[in-house]
A and B are shown apart, each in its own frame.
Chain A
Amino acid sequence: MVRIALVYDVARWEEKALIKAAMSRSVYIEPIHLKSIPLYIGNGLQRPLGDADIVLQRSLSHSIALESTVILESLGYRVVNNSTAIALVHDKIWTLCRLLQHRIPIPQSAVAFSEEAGRKVAENLGYPIVIKPVNGSWGRLVSLAENSEALRTIIEHRSYIPNPTFRIHLMQEFVKKPGRDIRIFVVGEEAPVAIYRVSNHWITNTARGGKAVPAPISSELEDLAIRAAKAVNAEIAGIDVFEDPRRGYIVNEVNAVPDFKNTVAVTGYDLPGKIIDYLIEQVKR
Chain B
Amino acid sequence: MKAVLSIRCPICGQEVKLPDDVLPGEVVEHDCGVVLEVVIKDNAISLKPLEGVSEDWGE
Interface residues of A (CB under 8 A from B): 8-12, 15-16, 19, 31, 33, 35-36, 60-63, 135-139, 183, 205-207, 212, 238, 255-263
Chain B contacts with A in 9-27, Cβ cutoff 8 A: 21, 23-27
Known: A11-B27, A31-B23. A61 touches B58 (CB 8 A): no
Known: A61-B53, A61-B54. A9 touches B59 (CB 8 A): no
CB-CB contacts of B40-59 with A at 8 A, as 1s and 0s? 10000000001001111111
Assuming the A-B contacts A10-B53, A60-B53, A61-B53, are A33 and B23 also in contact, with contact meaning beta carbons closer than 8 angstroms in the complex?
Answer: yes
Are A12 and B27 neighbours in the complex by a CB distance under 8 Å?
Answer: yes
> Which of B24, B26, B57 meets A255, CB within 8 Å?
B57
Cα separation A19 to B22 with both chains bound (whole Å):
12
B37 CB contacts on chain A under 8 angstroms: 10
Task: Looking at the assembled complex, report how far the CB atom of A228 sits from the nearest CB atom of chain B, in whole angstroms.
Answer: 15
- State the Cβ distance, B54 to closest chain A Cβ, in Å: 7
Chain B residue contacts of A261, Cβ below 8 A: 59
Interface residue tally for chain B (C-beta within 8 Å): 17
How many Å lie between the Cα of A260 and that of B15 in the bound state? 29
| A10-B50, A16-B21 given; A136·B26 CB < 8 A | no
Decide yes or no: A35 and B25 within 8 Å by CB, A206-B59, A259-B59, A260-B59 being known contacts. Answer: yes
Cβ of A11 and Cβ of B56 under 8 Å apart? no
Q: A60-B53, A61-B53 are in contact. Are A11 and B23 (CB under 8 A)?
A: yes
Extra contacts besides A33-B23, A35-B25, A257-B57 (6): CB < 8 Å? A16-B23, A36-B24, A60-B55, A136-B55, A138-B56, A207-B58
Interface contacts (Cβ under 8 Å), in number, total 75
Which residue in chain B gives the minimum CB-CB distance to A62? B55
The smallest C-beta distance from A257 to any residue of chain B, in angstroms, reads 5
Bound Cα distance from A16 to B57, whole angstroms: 17
In the complex, which residues of chain A have a beta carbon less than 8 angstroms from the beta carbon of B26? 10-12, 16
B57 adjacent to A60 (CB under 8 Å): yes
Decide: B57 and A258 in contact? CB cutoff 8 A: yes
CA–CA, A8 and B57, complex, Å: 13
Contact A263 B25 (CB under 8 A): no
A198 CA / B20 CA spacing, docked (Å): 36
CA distance A130 to B49 in the complex (A): 33
Cβ of A61 and Cβ of B25 under 8 Å apart? no
Q: What's the minimum C-beta distance from A190 to chain B, rounded to whole angstroms?
A: 19
Nearest Cβ distance between residue B15 and chain A, in whole angstroms? 21
Say whether, besides A31-B23, A35-B25, A259 and B50 are in contact (CB < 8 Å): no
Nearest to A63 among chain B residues (CB) is B55
